[in-house]
Chain A
Amino acid sequence: MLLSDQAKEIISRSCPIMGTEITSLSSSLGRALAEDIVAREDVPTFDNSGMDGYALRTSDDAAHMDGISLKIVGEVAAGDVYPGVVGDGEAVKVMTGAPIPTGADAVIEQEQVKEENGKLRVSGPVERGCNIRSRGEDIRSGDRLLERGKRLRPFELGVLASLGISEVSVYARPEVAILTMGNELVPIDQAPGPGQIRNSNAVTLQALVHECGAKAILFDPCKDDEDHLREALEAGLLSDVLISSGGVSVGEYDLVLNVLKSIGVKILFWRVNIKPGKPVAFGLFEGRGRAVPVFALPGNSVSTAVTFIEYVRPALLRMMGATGWEPLRLMAELKGEIRKNDGKRQFLRGILRNESGRLIVQSTGSQGSAVMTSFLKANCLIIVPEEVREVTEGNMVEIKLL
C-alpha cells in the first residue's frame, strides 16, 4: 500500500502554483511574497538616541569625561530636530528616538549625571557613540530583506511599512470547494432525525481552509446517489481545489471515486498506509486548461481532520507560494505506552507538556476515528512510524504541534 511520504510526494508534484496579485499591506498577513524585497532606504534614516538622557560631544579619551561639567543648552524630543550645534562643555536633553543634534556624538543616561548649580556633572567615562542608534544599523539600502515565498507575519509587515512599502506582490488565495456527502447528513441548524447526524465535518473543513489563508466555499451536503454527486462534484471543480468528505471507503454507498473518474478526474492514489484516514484519495482534474487538485477525504471526523493536516494543508500552502513554512520536527518523551501491530503510520492525538524542561507527551485517551473530542484536549499529534510496533514509557516519539 502507498506510504504516507509517497502520497505527499505525489501531491507535491501535482499541485499548481497560484497566480500573483498586488495587495495592500494591511490585507497581506499570512500571504506569501511573490517578489523579493530589497530595501531602498536605510533604517533608521538618521542617528537617534537609544534612551532618555543628554547628548554631548565626547573627547578622544573617554575617561577624560569623568567629572566634566556641562551646560544644558536645549532639548529635543522624538519627532523634532535640534536647530543648533553642540559644542564642548554643552549638553542637549534628548528623548528616546530623537535625532542626535549636530556636534554631539554620544548620549549619557540620567543616572550618569548630577545637576549642580544649574549645570550637569558627568560621572564615569563616556565612550564615543554610546547609546546612539546609527543610521542604517537595522537595514541598509540595497539589503535583500525578504525572499519570494516568505509568508508575511506581523513582523514582516512592520519592516515593509518602515520602508514605505504599502503594497506587495503576493500569491493569490485559492478558492477551495468543500463537499460533504452522505444521506445521513443534515445541516447544523437542523435537528437530526432517526439515523441522522449534523454536518460537522463541513464546519471543521471550512475553518481549516480558512486558517491556512485560503478561501472556502461550502456546498450543501450531498446525497449518496450518482446523479447528485456528479452534479455537485462538477460544480466543485469550478474552484481551484476540491475537497470532498465521505464516500471513499469500500461500502456500498461509497461512490465518490467512480463519479470523480466519470467526470474526468484522474485518481492518482486511493488508500494510504496510515491510521486514521486510510481511505484517503487524491486526484487531478485537468479540463479547461488548468489543474484542479481533488482531495477525497474519509468521512469519519477524526480521519477528515488528520488527512487535512497531513495532505491538504501542505498542498494549499504550496499552492499559495509559501516556502519554509514547514514546522520543526519535534521529539518528546512518551508517558504511557503505544503498541501497534498494523504496520501503518499512526497519528494519535496527544497532550504535550513541559515538565521541568523535559517535553513529555501522552495520548488523549480514546483514539477512535469518530471520536472528535479526542482533539479537544489535544495540542499535538503523536506520529508513530510504520515499522514501529511498540514505544515504551520514557522513549522518544515524534510529535507535530496542532
Chain B
Amino acid sequence: MKIQVRFFSVTRDLVGADERALALPDGSKASAVLEILGLEFPLLLEWKQSIRLAVNMEYTHDERILNEGDEVALIPPVSGG
C-alpha cells in the first residue's frame, strides 16, 4: 500500500524533503515507517526516541495499523513534563 510521510523540523533537515510517498506491505504498523526510512537515512534512527508519530493528524502509538492513503507525520523532538 502507499502512504504519505510528512517531515517536520529536524526530520525534514535529515531527510531533505517536506514529504514523500512510501510503499509499505499491507497491514504495516506505524513503527514500520521509521524502520524503512531508517534504512535510507540512518541518522533518523538516532532521533527515534524523541520522534512522535501522527497518523492523519492524530498522535498515535507505534502499533497502530496503517491503511492505504494514510498520512504519517514525524513530529520533531520534544520534551515532556
Give the residue among B54, B58, B77, B78 with the most A Cβ atoms within 10 A: B78
> Closest approach, in angstroms, between the C-beta of A225 and any C-beta of chain B?
13
Chain A, interface size category, equals 10 to 19
> Closest approach, in angstroms, between the C-beta of B71 and any C-beta of chain A?
12
A29 at the interface (CB under 8 A from B): no
Known A210-B81, A217-B80, A218-B81; judge A231-B9 contact (CB<8 A). yes
Taking a contact as CB atoms under 8 Å apart, the answer to whether B75 and A238 are in contact is yes
Known A238-B58, A288-B57; judge A218-B73 contact (CB<8 A). no
Complex interface bits, A328-343 against B, C-beta within 8 A gives 1, otherwise 0: 0000000000000000
Picked from A217, A235, A237, A287, the residue with its CB within 8 Å of the CB of B79 is A217
Taking a contact as CB atoms under 8 Å apart, the answer to whether B57 and A220 are in contact is no
Taking a contact as CB atoms under 8 Å apart, the answer to whether A216 and B57 are in contact is no
With A and B bound together, what is the CA distance between A207 and B75 in angstroms?
22
Closest B residue, CB atoms, query A287: B57
With A and B bound together, what is the CA distance between A217 and B45 in angstroms?
21
Taking a contact as CB atoms under 8 Å apart, the answer to whether B76 and A219 are in contact is yes
Picked from B9, B10, B73, B78, the residue with its CB within 8 Å of the CB of A217 is B78
Picked from A232, A238, A287, the residue with its CB within 8 Å of the CB of B59 is A238
Complex interface bits, B39-81 against A, C-beta within 8 A gives 1, otherwise 0: 0000000000000001001110000000000000101111111
Complex interface bits, A239-262 against B, C-beta within 8 A gives 1, otherwise 0: 100000000000000000000000
Picked from A215, A232, A287, the residue with its CB within 8 Å of the CB of B80 is A215
> Closest approach, in angstroms, between the C-beta of B67 and any C-beta of chain A?
17
With A and B bound together, what is the CA distance between A207 and B79 in angstroms?
12
* Residues of chain B at the chain A interface (Cβ within 8 Å): 8-10, 12, 54, 57-59, 73, 75-81
A-B contacts, 13 of them at CB < 8 A, read A206-B81, A209-B81, A215-B81, A217-B78, A217-B80, A218-B81, A220-B9, A220-B76, A220-B78, A232-B8, A235-B75, A239-B59, A288-B58
* Residues of chain A at the chain B interface (Cβ within 8 Å): 206-207, 209-210, 215-220, 228, 231-232, 235, 237-239, 287-288
